[in-house]
Amino acid sequence: MKILVLNSGSSSLKFQLFTLPGLAVAASGLVEEIGEARGAAHLDFMDGNGNEKTLKYSRQVLDHRQAIRLMGEMLQESGCFSDISELAAIGHRVVHGGEKFSEPVKIDEAVIDAIERLAPLAPLHNPANLTGIRVAMEHAPDIPQVAVFDTAFHQTMPEHAYLYALPYECYSRNHVRRYGFHGTSHSYVARRAADHLGRPIDELNIITLHLGNGASAAAISGGKCIDTSMGMTPLEGLIMGTRSGDFDPAILFYLSREAGMDIDALDRMVNRQSGLKGICGENDMRAITKSAQEGDARARLALDMFCYRLKKYIGAYVAALGSIDCVVFTGGIGENAALVRQKACEGLEAIGIRVDGEKNNTHRKDILEIHARGSACAILVVPTDEELEIARQTMRVCGMRREYS
Ligand code: ADP
């Protein structure tokens, strides 16, 4: 039996097929540019002899219905999957669960309605996630389907952390509050870090730093999130690839009055033209660290700003937690950019966060310890795996028990 995990974006469908009971990855793939004149799709899988293989397709994919059909075709061609009856369950990533969902849930009509009602909070994501859910339910009406929410893990934040100091009616009437995102990743790497340290998670204070194109930090006490850097939307907090992170919101009024920018232009600016890209014209951290090391002043500035913001959040979260046992780096940047890890922790020795330069420059596929001997706080690089976590949560919700490893 198998579990299929679907992550439906507005013009893409990412999927992964896991084999039970061990949740080994049988295949993973992506259908891109859905709705465009020329779509592209690929599937990575292991053939019967244990060799890694890739299938590539280039054809127009009009909508998610066709994307799911193409996914089925590719999976069948790979030999990893023959029939829908092989599926024990399907897990869906859903970006926004609002205050309604603090846990993954089995999907029924009421859950679909609730996800739909939450669409104004995530207008780019929830409708796309829902399209994937609806099409999957049409194709596999008898297979249990589970929604796993990016926001759910952060629902344990206390009021004083999730409220904005705006008129209280903004919250009570309009649901304006901090929700946080990347929850599946934060919860997964925190638990793996605790397992690695051989200590119960309920005894630990952990800061997790998910640094990819989007970036967020979470303060986790006893396994529960007490604060996170993303807010009502993924714009708040750390500096990101193209998003600004924290800035004075009055800048928007100023630019509207002084530069005549309308709401759409301002939205585009802060979400797509800011962050690393806004400072140095580039949002790929590999290119930025290379240019910075070659002496490019803007690239160096972007890197300095990114790491300084990170350091401020680490400091703030040590204060929020009261003490710190472990800092975890994850995401494409967190897992790979040793220079970012080093610069973000520089100067934090006084609060017990001390990186070992040599260990930090090592690369491992699995968990890497990068703290110096005698550091009061463990510093770990933990590769994230949101799809695996969604598969595990799907098993749990469907009553298929498997101990977390
Ligand atoms: P997403 O948020 O889209 O899932 P990822 O988690 O894949 O993104 O992270 C993408 C970021 O990781 C990019 O900025 C990329 O440059 C960075 N990255 C990936 N590999 C490296 C590397 N070896 N060194 C520095 N940065 C890297």
**Does residue 82 register a pLDDT over 90?**
no
**Does residue 405 register a pLDDT over 60?**
no
- The predicted structure's pLDDT at residue 402: 57
Q: How far apart are CA 115 and CA 297, in angstroms?
A: 45
Q: Establish whether residue 337 lines the binding site of ligand 1, counting it when its CB lies within 6 angstroms of any ligand atom.
A: yes
**Does residue 403 register a pLDDT over 50?**
no
DSSP three-state, residue 224: strand
Choosing from 243, 306, 333, 341 the residue with most ligand 1 atoms within 8 A of its CB, the one to mutate for a pocket test is 333
Annotated catalytic residues are: 150
Indicate whether 167 belongs to any domain. Answer: no
User: How many Å lie between the centroid of ligand 1 and the Cα of residue 71?
Assistant: 26
Domain boundary among 134, 149, 164: 149
pLDDT (mean) for 189-206:
97
Indicate whether 402 belongs to any domain. Answer: no
Judgement on whether residues 212 and 283 belong to the same structural domain of the protein: yes
Residue 156: how many CA atoms within 13 Å on its side-chain side? 13
Choosing from 95, 213, 384 the residue with most ligand 1 atoms within 8 A of its CB, the one to mutate for a pocket test is 213
User: How many Å lie between the centroid of ligand 1 and the Cα of residue 334?
Assistant: 8
State pTM to two decimals: 0.93
Q: Which two tokens stand for residue 405?
A: 């490893």
Residue 13: how many CA atoms within 13 Å on its side-chain side? 30
Give the tens place of pLDDT for each residue, 262-282: 999 999 999 999 999 999 999
Residue percentage of the chain with pLDDT more than 90: 81
What CATH number should be reported for the domain holding residue 325? 3.30.420.40
- The predicted structure's pLDDT at residue 282: 95
Judgement on whether residues 8 and 103 belong to the same structural domain of the protein: yes
User: How many Å lie between the centroid of ligand 1 and the Cα of residue 331?
Assistant: 7
Indicate whether 195 belongs to any domain. Answer: no
Give the tens place of pLDDT for each residue, 358-393: 999 998 889 999 999 988 899 999 999 999 999 999
- The predicted structure's pLDDT at residue 46: 83
Indicate whether 344 belongs to any domain. Answer: yes
Q: How far apart are CA 228 and CA 206, in angstroms?
A: 12
User: How many Å lie between the centroid of ligand 1 and the Cα of residue 336?
Assistant: 7
Those residues whose C-beta lies under 8 Å from the C-beta of residue 199, and which sit 6 or more positions away, are 325
Q: Establish whether residue 285 lines the binding site of ligand 1, counting it when its CB lies within 6 angstroms of any ligand atom.
A: yes
Give the tens place of pLDDT for each residue, 154-197: 999 999 999 999 999 999 999 999 999 999 999 999 999 999 99
Q: Which two tokens stand for residue 98?
A: 């609002």
- The predicted structure's pLDDT at residue 401: 67
- The predicted structure's pLDDT at residue 163: 98
Indicate whether 186 belongs to any domain. Answer: no
Those residues whose C-beta lies under 8 Å from the C-beta of residue 305, and which sit 6 or more positions away, are 239, 279
Band of pLDDT at residue 134, cut at 50, 70 and 90: very high
Give the tens place of pLDDT for each residue, 338-354: 999 999 999 999 999 99
- The predicted structure's pLDDT at residue 245: 97
Give the tens place of pLDDT for each residue, 280-336: 999 999 999 999 999 999 999 999 999 999 999 999 999 999 999 999 999 999 999
- The predicted structure's pLDDT at residue 400: 87
- The predicted structure's pLDDT at residue 404: 43
Judgement on whether residues 205 and 134 belong to the same structural domain of the protein: no
Which atom of ligand 1 lies at the shortest distance from residue 214's CA?
2
Secondary structure element (H or E) that encloses residue 266, with its range = helix 263-272
Residue located nearest, by CA, to atom 7 of ligand 1: 332
Q: Establish whether residue 286 lines the binding site of ligand 1, counting it when its CB lies within 6 angstroms of any ligand atom.
A: yes
Q: Considering its fold, how many domains does the chain have in total?
A: 2
- The predicted structure's pLDDT at residue 260: 97
Indicate whether 85 belongs to any domain. Answer: yes
Q: Which two tokens stand for residue 161?
A: 């952390």
Q: Establish whether residue 334 lines the binding site of ligand 1, counting it when its CB lies within 6 angstroms of any ligand atom.
A: no
Range of the domain at 355: 200-386
**Terminal Cα distance for the chain, rounded:** 20
